[in-house]
């Protein structure tokens, strides 16, 4: 049923004869707008996460104008709203600390102002879940506009991928195989256009999740940021959100359990970032849907990974786009998806991918010739991780997926940095590197420290992968036999806090097992002796975060932000 102008939410601000409405209209006119610019038109918010330090979104000022063009064309009233530009590169201690901040800001920007529909502009890792979490909670018509990946990196005739090749060549530099001069050349070549990381890291994974969930226009997640098609996508978002507002098509109409199952399936097929698990659990929580970690593992077991993209494969997002992009991949795995799910263009996922085709079967493999027979992420349980941990087996040395080794324990990140290259560190290639106090509260903010560096003396021997265990996350562009998100985290006394140097740890991927080989009595004895550290923050946002953040297996949302009830509209009188 199409909405009437009288039913627009913004009418409560702009309609009526009272003094408040007079104020709202006169202040719109202060900006040079005539009554005909806004009267009886949907007010479309454009939430823009641009900043000079959000390098992945450096094209967003232009894109926002292109969204506005579409909004005006379709008969809407466009207003741009800047929001917390959570960026992966510069924000410390971890942008993850601020994902929920962006989610809260998004929700309250929309609630407190005369907005009828919204285009969300993000892409750099945490911006996609942050913006969507807020929009889901507010539940106004919303379209997500992904920033798009940057172009392929280039150095010395070789293609470079964000993150993945940084870790790779950093290890070579530490091993003495790359000169300072070559390292500088790499710095010049690895990030050479606007756009987010162009490996299948967290950014590409989460924008692909947004598209699979049905929250973007078809094809939006794969278009490189600087391609003219990206500009056209921006103005198309502007046009469509106006129509969506009249149709009153909201996130709650789109984000069903089936849509989230589609997202998990796509996550496995693209070899997505381990971070996607945390974000999808949080997004589902906002939609009132509980996603258990076992669901990810179940879907992983019967979903082949068919995207041949780094860090699990060979190619980059630009190649993925030319090969047909996410639409073509979704069509290829169509038998594993719920194709009836509704999307923001008013059509089903199945209708949207119907005409897509793979144009390079090396980049997007067929379901019968996958890169890996199983999905890109697995969930482990055991006495170190009673509430679960995750690993990306497709990006690990397969020999390490069945491993028994002695722990080398670092109590925190600083201690790890100080000791890892010490010649006297008792470590060899069979050791298991353990990092404690790097989780949601311990990090704080669960930094991407989980790909612990290989000790220099082992690098010199040619070792490039080891089993590593932590309650941290790792970059979606990172790789290796890294067990992450151990829950509950060590900072609150999870069993990871009880591991000591020399303890035997078993990783058994086939059984999905992660075990500390220690008697229950010894574990109990150590638990009784464990002493908590003081909280990381005494005041401010950090203290709010610490008081309310949930553990990794629960999505790290704030307990008071999950959907329990609707929030009332503000009074406008
Ligand atoms: Fe923004 Fe990687 S730094 S996506």
**Predicted local distance difference test score (pLDDT) of residue 572:** 83
Across the range 208-229, mean pLDDT stands at 98
Cα distance between residue 94 and residue 390, in whole Å: 19
565 against 489, higher pLDDT: 489
Across the range 491-516, mean pLDDT stands at 97
**Predicted local distance difference test score (pLDDT) of residue 543:** 97
Instruction: Return the ligand 1 atom nearest residue 89 CA.
Output: 3
User: How far away, in angstroms, is 199 Cα from ligand 1 center?
Assistant: 10
Contacts of 436 (CB under 8 A, 6+ apart): 409, 410, 411, 412, 442, 470, 471, 490, 491, 496, 497, 499
Instruction: Return the ligand 1 atom nearest residue 477 CA.
Output: 2
> Do 121 and 109 meet the contact criterion of CB atoms below 8 Å apart?
no
Q: Is 56 in the pocket of ligand 1 (CB under 6 A)?
A: yes
Instruction: Return the ligand 1 atom nearest residue 54 CA.
Output: 1
Cα distance between residue 444 and residue 438, in whole Å: 7
Across the range 438-444, mean pLDDT stands at 96
Across the range 11-39, mean pLDDT stands at 95
1 against 31, higher pLDDT: 31
**Predicted local distance difference test score (pLDDT) of residue 436:** 98
* pLDDT band at residue 565 under the 50/70/90 scheme: confident
User: How far away, in angstroms, is 198 Cα from ligand 1 center?
Assistant: 9
Q: Return the residue matching tokens 């939609």.
A: 287
Does pLDDT of 59 surpass 90?
yes
Across the range 558-567, mean pLDDT stands at 85
* pLDDT band at residue 339 under the 50/70/90 scheme: very high
Across the range 101-116, mean pLDDT stands at 98
Beta bridge partners of 484: 390
- Return mean pLDDT, the chain: 96
Q: Is 47 in the pocket of ligand 1 (CB under 6 A)?
A: no
Q: Tell which one of 50, 53, 160, 162 to mutate to probe ligand 1, the residue whose CB is within 8 A of the most ligand atoms.
A: 162
**Predicted local distance difference test score (pLDDT) of residue 324:** 98
Across the range 22-48, mean pLDDT stands at 97
Instruction: Return the ligand 1 atom nearest residue 56 CA.
Output: 1
Does pLDDT of 252 surpass 90?
yes
**Predicted local distance difference test score (pLDDT) of residue 573:** 73
- Write out pLDDT tens, residues 264-315: 999 999 999 999 999 999 999 999 999 999 999 999 999 999 999 998 899 9
Does pLDDT of 562 surpass 90?
no
User: How far away, in angstroms, is 342 Cα from ligand 1 center?
Assistant: 29
Query: What is the percentage of the chain residues whose pLDDT exceeds 70?
Result: 100
Q: Is 243 in the pocket of ligand 1 (CB under 6 A)?
A: no
* Protein residue with least CA distance to atom 2, ligand 1: 197
**Predicted local distance difference test score (pLDDT) of residue 563:** 72
Q: Is 448 in the pocket of ligand 1 (CB under 6 A)?
A: no
* Protein residue with least CA distance to atom 3, ligand 1: 88
Across the range 490-501, mean pLDDT stands at 98
SS3 content of the chain, % helix, strand, coil (to 5): 40, 15, 45
Number of residues that make up the chain: 573
Q: Tell which one of 196, 317, 447 to mutate to probe ligand 1, the residue whose CB is within 8 A of the most ligand atoms.
A: 196
Rg of the chain over all Cα atoms, to the nearest angstrom? 24
Beta bridge partners of 516: 505
Q: Is 11 in the pocket of ligand 1 (CB under 6 A)?
A: no
Lowest average pLDDT, out of 140-154, 167-181, 484-498, 530-544, goes to: 167-181
Q: Tell which one of 197, 207, 208, 221 to mutate to probe ligand 1, the residue whose CB is within 8 A of the most ligand atoms.
A: 197
Q: Is 318 in the pocket of ligand 1 (CB under 6 A)?
A: no
**Predicted local distance difference test score (pLDDT) of residue 375:** 87
User: How far away, in angstroms, is 522 Cα from ligand 1 center?
Assistant: 43
Q: Tell which one of 125, 199, 204 to mutate to probe ligand 1, the residue whose CB is within 8 A of the most ligand atoms.
A: 125
Q: Is 57 in the pocket of ligand 1 (CB under 6 A)?
A: no
User: How far away, in angstroms, is 449 Cα from ligand 1 center?
Assistant: 16
Instruction: Return the ligand 1 atom nearest residue 475 CA.
Output: 2
Here the tokens at position 174 are 């530490």
What burial class does residue 158 get, using C-beta atoms within 10 Å of its C-beta: 0-12 exposed, 13-18 middle, 19+ buried?
exposed
Q: Is 90 in the pocket of ligand 1 (CB under 6 A)?
A: no
Q: Is 200 in the pocket of ligand 1 (CB under 6 A)?
A: no
Backbone angles phi, psi at 137, to 5 degrees: -65, -35
Beta bridge partners of 508: 402, 513
User: How far away, in angstroms, is 243 Cα from ligand 1 center?
Assistant: 32
Contacts of 539 (CB under 8 A, 6+ apart): none
**Predicted local distance difference test score (pLDDT) of residue 490:** 98
Query: What is the percentage of the chain residues whose pLDDT exceeds 90?
Result: 94
Q: Is 89 in the pocket of ligand 1 (CB under 6 A)?
A: yes
Q: Is 409 in the pocket of ligand 1 (CB under 6 A)?
A: no
Instruction: Return the ligand 1 atom nearest residue 87 CA.
Output: 1
**Predicted local distance difference test score (pLDDT) of residue 566:** 82
* Protein residue with least CA distance to atom 1, ligand 1: 124
Does pLDDT of 398 surpass 90?
yes
Instruction: Return the ligand 1 atom nearest residue 162 CA.
Output: 2
Q: Is 88 in the pocket of ligand 1 (CB under 6 A)?
A: yes
Does pLDDT of 456 surpass 90?
yes
Cα distance between residue 16 and residue 22, in whole Å: 8
Q: Order of strands, edge to edge, in the sheet holding 77-82?
A: 77-82, 43-48, 117-122, 142-146
User: How far away, in angstroms, is 315 Cα from ligand 1 center?
Assistant: 17
Does pLDDT of 403 surpass 90?
yes
- Write out pLDDT tens, residues 116-169: 999 999 999 999 999 999 999 999 999 999 999 999 999 999 999 998 899 889
**Predicted local distance difference test score (pLDDT) of residue 144:** 98
* pLDDT band at residue 328 under the 50/70/90 scheme: very high
Q: What is the DSSP letter of 315?
A: B
Q: Is 125 in the pocket of ligand 1 (CB under 6 A)?
A: yes
* pLDDT band at residue 485 under the 50/70/90 scheme: very high
Q: Is 197 in the pocket of ligand 1 (CB under 6 A)?
A: yes
Does pLDDT of 376 surpass 90?
no
Q: Is 507 in the pocket of ligand 1 (CB under 6 A)?
A: no
User: How far away, in angstroms, is 416 Cα from ligand 1 center?
Assistant: 25
Does pLDDT of 42 surpass 90?
yes
User: How far away, in angstroms, is 376 Cα from ligand 1 center?
Assistant: 20
């Amino acid at each position: 049923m199409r909405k009437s102008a009288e039913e627009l939410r913004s009418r409560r601000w702009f309609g009526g004869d009272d003094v408040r409405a007079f104020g709202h209209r006169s202040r719109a006119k202060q900006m040079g707008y005539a009554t005909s610019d806004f009267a009886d038109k949907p007010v479309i918010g454009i939430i823009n996460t641009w900043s000079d330090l959000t390098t992945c979104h450096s094209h967003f000022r232009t894109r926002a104008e292109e969204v506005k063009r579409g909004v005006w064309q379709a008969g809407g009233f466009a207003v741009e709203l800047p929001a917390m530009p959570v960026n992966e590169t510069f924000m410390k201690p971890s942008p993850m600390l601020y994902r929920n901040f962006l989610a809260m800001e998004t929700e309250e920007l929309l609630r407190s102002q005369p907005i009828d529909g919204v285009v969300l502009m993000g892409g750099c890792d945490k911006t996609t879940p942050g913006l969507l979490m807020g929009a889901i909670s507010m539940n106004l018509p919303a379209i997500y506009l992904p920033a798009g990946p940057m172009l392929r990196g280039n150095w010395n005739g070789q293609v470079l991928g964000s993150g993945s090749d940084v870790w790779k060549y950093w290890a070579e530099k530490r091993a003495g195989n790359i000169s300072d001069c070559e390292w500088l050349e790499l710095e010049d070549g690895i990030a050479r256009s606007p756009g987010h990381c162009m490996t299948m890291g967290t950014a590409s994974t989460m924008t692909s999740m947004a598209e699979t969930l049905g929250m973007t226009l078809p094809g939006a997640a794969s278009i490189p940021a600087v391609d003219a098609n990206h500009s056209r996508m921006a103005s198309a978002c502007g046009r469509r959100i106006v129509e969506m507002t009249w149709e009153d098509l909201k996130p709650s109409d789109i984000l069903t359990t089936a849509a989230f199952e589609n997202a998990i399936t796509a996550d496995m097929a693209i070899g997505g970032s381990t971070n996607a698990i945390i974000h999808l659990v949080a997004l589902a929580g906002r939609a009132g849907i509980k996603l258990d970690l076992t669901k990810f593992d179940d879907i992983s077991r019967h979903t082949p990974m068919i995207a041949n993209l780094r860090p699990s494969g060979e190619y980059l997002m630009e190649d993925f786009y030319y090969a047909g992009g996410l639409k073509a991949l979704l069509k290829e795995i169509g038998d594993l998806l719920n194709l009836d799910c509704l999307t923001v263009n008013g059509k089903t996922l199945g209708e949207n991918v119907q005409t897509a085709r793979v144009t390079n079967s090396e980049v997007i493999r067929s379901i019968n010739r996958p890169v890996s027979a199983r999905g890109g992420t697995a969930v482990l349980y055991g006495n170190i991780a009673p509430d679960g941990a995750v690993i990306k087996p497709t990006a690990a040395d397969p020999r390490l997926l069945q491993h028994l080794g002695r722990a080398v324990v670092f109590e925190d990140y600083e201690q790890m940095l100080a000791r890892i290259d010490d010649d006297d560190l008792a470590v060899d290639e069979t050791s298991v590197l353990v990092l404690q106090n790097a989780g949601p509260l311990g990090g704080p903010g669960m930094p991407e420290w989980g790909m612990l560096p290989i000790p220099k003396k082992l690098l010199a021997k040619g070792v490039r992968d080891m089993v590593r265990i932590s309650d941290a996350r790792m970059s979606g562009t990172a790789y290796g036999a890294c067990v992450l998100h151990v829950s509950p985290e060590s900072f609150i006394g999870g069993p990871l806090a009880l591991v000591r140097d020399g303890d035997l740890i078993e990783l058994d991927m086939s059984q999905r097992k992660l075990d500390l080989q220690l008697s229950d009595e010894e574990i109990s004895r150590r638990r009784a002796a464990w002493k908590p550290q003081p909280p990381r923050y005494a005041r401010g946002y950090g203290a709010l975060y610490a008081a309310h953040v949930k553990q990794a297996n629960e999505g790290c949302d704030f307990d008071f932000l999950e959907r329990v009830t609707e929030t009332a509209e503000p009074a406008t009188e």
